[in-house]
Amino acid sequence: MSRLGPVITLAAGAVLAVGLGVASTIATPAAEETAAGTAAQAPPSEESSAAASPSPSKTEPEKIAKADYGGRVKGNGALIAISIRNGKAVGYFCDGRSEAWFKGSESGGELQLKGVANAGAKVTAELGGGRAKGWVSVGGRKWDFVAPTVVKPSGLYRATALVRGAKLRAGWIVIKNPDGGYYQVGAAALGEQQVAIPRLDSERPTAPVTVDGTTVSPEDVDGFIEEMQ
């Protein structure tokens, strides 16, 4: 019996070693699976999140779809009219002797116009509260103005024609008088020569009129704003 003791002890040790080896083999894949699962559940890094997040888009300033303004120029006695259609804008300044046409754009309530044929002429205004408030510069001089919104028949009108090979052009501003009736001012030229301009029918300002012997039909701003751009 004493001789079998070491053999039994060695056999028992061998069985125990085999059992531990099997347990280790079984435990290793489980540990790998757990590690893989932990990695899969880990939140993305800040860098990967930043790359995946779309950058915020810039919002374009809103443009006025339609508006008409008209009023007096301070310190000059002239009238000014401004019309906007989908962000495109035109303007006209006239005191009955001198005149200036403008074109440009409006965006975010800011108006910027430059002279069409008058070098250096400019209009800058802020729009809001039912009015256009700013300044107009013509012939090296500058005046302030406040022009409230207006509705037809108030507004801006123009007529053009070809007469004996020269271009006839005429412009009018019609503004309603709070005390009744309408203020009206305009100017006309045949080629480079200024000619007399008739008054428009305030109630029907697009009715035909005669300018320097030629009958023309004035258009409201909707008829020529695109042409001027």
Per-residue pLDDT tens for 170-206?
999 999 998 999 999 999 999 999 999 999 999 999 9
What lies within 8 Å, CB to CB, of 199 at 6+ separation is 184, 186
Q: What is the residue-averaged pLDDT of the chain?
A: 81
What lies within 8 Å, CB to CB, of 137 at 6+ separation is 120, 121, 122, 123, 143
Buried (b) or exposed (e) across 21-37, using 16+ Cβ within 10 A? eeeeeeeeeeeeeeeee
Q: Assign 28 a pLDDT band (cuts: 50, 70, 90).
A: very low
Q: Assign 61 a pLDDT band (cuts: 50, 70, 90).
A: confident
Least confident of 25-29, 75-79, 115-119, 144-148: 25-29
pLDDT of residue 58: 63
> Per-residue pLDDT averaged across 114-120, rounded?
91
pLDDT of residue 2: 39
Q: Assign 128 a pLDDT band (cuts: 50, 70, 90).
A: very high
Residue 10 has pLDDT above 50, yes or no: no
What lies within 8 Å, CB to CB, of 33 at 6+ separation is none
pLDDT of residue 59: 72
142-168 pLDDT, tens digit per residue, is: 999 999 999 999 999 999 999 999 999
